[in-house]
Amino acid sequence: MKSLHLLGSKQMGGAERWFARFLPAMLRHGESVEAVVRRDSELARHHLANVPTRMLGFRTVWDPLSRHEVRRLIKASDAPIVQTYMGRATRLTRLPRGGGKVHVSRLGGYYKLDPFVHAHAWIGNTLGLCDWMIRGGLPAERVFHITNFADPARSVPTAELDALRSRIGLTAGDWLMVTAGRLIDVKGHRYLVDALSRLPAELGGRRLRLAVLGDGDLRPALEAQARQAGVADRILWAGWQHEPAPWFQLADMVVFPSRDPETLGNVILEAWAYGKPLVCTAFRGAREITRHGEDAWIVPCDDGTALAAGMRHVIGNADLQRDFVARGLARIEKDFSEAAVIGQYRALYGKLLENR
């Protein structure tokens, strides 16, 4: 069955990255999809090359022209499922009564629910988020849990890896830690910079280096913090990476320092998929999907001292690293495979259309 997917934001973030991963996966599994995105967005420019895509203004949630554009496009579409992401696209999407279409809103965070209540059904990517939506007044029988899948690790040619090593000056004596995410407060990067300042420049004879994949409003403040802490020369501010696979391939460890409101944290899944040991804070999503000491080392949120201790512990324990890698890969295969998640979406769409 065909589904129409609307996202109205301009910059890349977690929801946008999921959108760019989810729609190609749907196509790979034989589903018919069409994307509707903002005309001047990063998604429109870089991420949807093989996905049928339409572009609209998505100016503001109050703009009558934007609402008219969305309504006209949905009316002309033959897709019975209309799935929206984030507040702007959801608020601008109003399906006519008796039109035979179903509006599904996917939430990837603990947003205010008012902009979402007019949808016919809601998807949360964690059980905690679904429980929160139900406590907020959404009908339990129309709230559905479908987690995110992990992309299979992309094989990166040796020449591409060598070129990246050369560009960033990475040597065999370095221990490269990678973190990824928009540079906003909920991602907790300031605690990671603090943690790095509490570690020596070398551990076990290997120089500690950190690559930060992402960009955002906090970058100047974080760079200033790194300079003041004396660790600016250990950090690579790599910016947003449209293709992060080479960085994950080169990484010796993944660190994810998000604060408690973080809903799921796709970086956890990426660390497991690429076979990298993971140090992570105990935010909401991590508490739900990780197992401390089995597939990740979990430390309290908002605590640079604890994060530094966790990083030191994992770096110094080769057996623990191997265990984390093996168990993380097993978790991906069992709980977070692409085929399983796409199958859940397919089943949900069928159920919603039967009951419309």
Question: What is the C-alpha separation between 161 and 178, in angstroms, rounded?
Answer: 15
User: What's the whole-model pTM score?
Assistant: 0.79
Provide the pLDDT for residue 47.
81
- Using a 10 angstrom Cβ sphere, with 0-12 exposed, 13-18 middle and 19 or more buried, the burial of residue 243 is exposed
Q: What is the DSSP code string of 18-38?
A: HHHHHHHHHHHTT-EEEEEEE
Nearest Cα neighbor of 39 from 79, 64, 7, 15 is 7
Provide the pLDDT for residue 159.
97
Provide the pLDDT for residue 5.
98
Question: What is the C-alpha separation between 2 and 77, in angstroms, rounded?
Answer: 10
Provide the pLDDT for residue 355.
85
Give pLDDT tens digits along the chain (356 positions): 899 999 999 988 888 989 999 999 999 999 999 999 999 898 988 889 889 999 999 999 899 999 999 999 999 999 999 999 999 999 999 998 777 899 999 998 898 999 999 999 999 999 999 999 999 999 999 999 999 998 889 899 999 999 999 999 999 999 999 999 999 999 999 999 999 999 999 999 999 999 999 999 999 999 999 999 999 999 999 998 988 999 999 999 999 999 999 988 889 999 999 999 999 999 999 999 999 999 999 999 999 999 999 999 999 999 999 999 999 999 998 889 999 999 999 999 999 999 87
Provide the pLDDT for residue 225.
98
CA–centroid distance for 235 within its chain: 22
Nearest Cα neighbor of 78 from 178, 4, 167 is 4
The beta-strand segments (E) located in 181-311 are: 202-203, 206-213, 235-239, 253-256, 278-281, 297-299
SS3 80: coil
| Annotated domain spans of the chain | 2-149+337-354, 158-335
Provide the pLDDT for residue 161.
97
**Please, where are the H alpha helices in the chain?**
14-28, 42, 64-76, 86-92, 127-135, 158-168, 189-197, 219-229, 245-250, 266-273, 284-289, 304-315, 318-335, 338-354
pLDDT in tens, 165-199: 999 999 999 999 999 999 999 999 999 999 999 99
Same fold, 2-149+337-354 and 158-335: yes
Residue type, 92: L
Nearest Cα neighbor of 238 from 308, 173, 157, 167 is 167
Q: From 3.40.50.2000, 3.40.50.300, 3.30.710.10, 3.20.20.70, which CATH number describes the 158-335 domain?
A: 3.40.50.2000
Write down the residue that tokens 């003041």 correspond to.
228
> Strand pairing of 32-38 and 2-7?
parallel
SS3 268: helix
Provide the pLDDT for residue 314.
98
* Token code pair at residue 217: 């409003």
pLDDT in tens, 16-57: 989 999 999 999 999 999 999 999 898 988 889 889 999 999
Provide the pLDDT for residue 96.
81
Provide the pLDDT for residue 309.
98
**% of the chain surpassing 70 pLDDT:** 100
Q: Which residues contact 18 (CB under 8 A, 6 or more apart)?
A: 85, 108, 148, 266
Provide the pLDDT for residue 244.
92
CATH no., domain 2-149+337-354: 3.40.50.2000
Question: What is the C-alpha separation between 347 and 9, in angstroms, rounded?
Answer: 28
Number of helices (H) and strands (E) in the chain: give both, helices first.
Answer: 14, 14
Checking 287-293 for CB contacts under 8 A at 24+ apart, the result is 287/128, 288/126, 288/127, 288/128, 288/264, 289/126, 289/147, 289/264, 289/331, 289/335, 291/327
Question: What is the C-alpha separation between 52 and 43, in angstroms, rounded?
Answer: 13
Q: Are 300 and 323 in contact (CB under 8 A)?
A: no
Provide the pLDDT for residue 230.
98
